[in-house]
Amino acid sequence: MADAEEPEKKRRRIEDLTEKMAVDGDHNWDGRWSHVQKFLERPGPFTHPDFEPSTDSLQFLLDTCKVLVIGAGGLGCELLKDLALSGFRHIHVVDMDTIDVSNLNRQFLFRPKDVGRPKADVAADFINSRIPGSSVVPHFKKIQEFDESFYKQFHIIVCGLDSIIARRWMNGMLISLLSYKAGRLDPSSIIPLIDGGTEGFKGNARVILPGMTACIDCTLELYPPQMNFPMCTIASMPRLPEHCIEYARILQWPKDKPFGETSLDGDNPEHIQWVFERAQERAAEFNITGVTYRLTQGVVKRIIPAVASTNAVIAAACASEVFKIATSAYMPLNNYLVFNDVDGLYTYTFEAERKENCSACSQVPQDLQFSPSAKLQEVLEYLTENASLQMKSPAITTTLEGKNKTLYLQSIKSIEERTRPNLCKTLKELGLSDGQELAVADVTTPQTVLFKLNFTT
């Protein structure tokens, strides 16, 4: 008899709670935020030294604080859930991707019926319908499509990305928003960046205060370098199967347009098959072996393994840091957390230090030391392969005789073809001199990076 009563009691409790939720238009029924109030409305041994318990912090979370979540994938789904249940109501989410069936094993806001739909839209709809009072605004766009005014509206930005390039671009954007008065950084212009990343059973979370603490580029050596190959090698002297695949991806796809104006989609089997076949033809021409369908997928998609439990741990750490910064109730992470449960469970924190000559946040032109006889190709390889720079497709320009001159630009086909011969010329032949400034633009940053050319003897 007692066992039969338990489900009935549970049902009545749910009905009572649902009725309270329906009556209260503000979705703040009694006890809803008690778990948050315990942190904000009473002192504790771990609170910030300057923290004063009050009801104001909770009201700030509920009514005012605006958080931007970048990425609605494995980390993003967890972040949206954690933040919404912690009292953050005004959340925007940006993601340029659509839902694939392979996402469903860990990205729990999505269902089979959602396959093909934008991740941001589905994630926002799910949170808004499931958590009363939530106001998640989706943006099915690239982060590069927004201007400064969009990012300035947020109090905190959280990244749940699987791309180092996107992280670096976001890092550069927040640095560009900083303002200085009489040479001193204006604290009101700082938008904290919380960054989380996972790879298999490993993960990390970090807190970045642009202009004050180490930024993404300050610690670029901690990230595995992206596999990039010099354009001259890809176009003229392939030696590896990867070179052949990149040739088909970068040069043949835009030239042949096998599927019309459609961009190459790494999740489309027909696109991968086409690249695979062209890569095989290229490999046969140069007697290169090892081009396989699986390798083609790996090169095109730059596959990173994902584990749901790691995403949950790192997202929880990031959400906790957002809560601490938004409420000022606790000291935030200073400033890097590492998580590893490959063999047992291991985690530690350390303070990543700012780099004095960081290309992103130091505001100091970078030195490039080359011989006058060095070729522009060597400079390009340095920009892409150096652990502190890791550029993707740098465009190099300079000023010669009072006029801007593009030395090399890869992203526009006609200009790439016109400037490609410069890669085989020496710096002296290009008219460059000691102390010359080179302006380098890249997809890893919204800002142009200045380099000062120092000739070595």
Q: Which residues are catalytic?
A: 232
Look at residues 41, 79, 43 and name the one whose alpha carbon lies nearest to residue 58. 41
Phi, psi of 72 (to 5 degrees): -120, 35
Contact in structure between 110 and 65 (CB atoms under 8 Å) = no
**Residue 191 neighbours by CB distance under 10 Å:** 20
- Structural tokens at position 218: 């300050």
- What span, in angstroms and rounded, lies between the C-alpha atoms of 53 and 249? 58
- What span, in angstroms and rounded, lies between the C-alpha atoms of 275 and 252? 9
Interaxial angle between packed helices 119-130 and 74-85, expressed in degrees from 0 to 180 and rounded to the nearest 10: 30
- The residues with which 370 forms a beta bridge, in sequence order, are 455
- The residues with which 198 forms a beta bridge, in sequence order, are 203
Contact in structure between 157 and 192 (CB atoms under 8 Å) = yes
Q: CB under 8 Å to 3, separation ≥6 — which residues? A: none
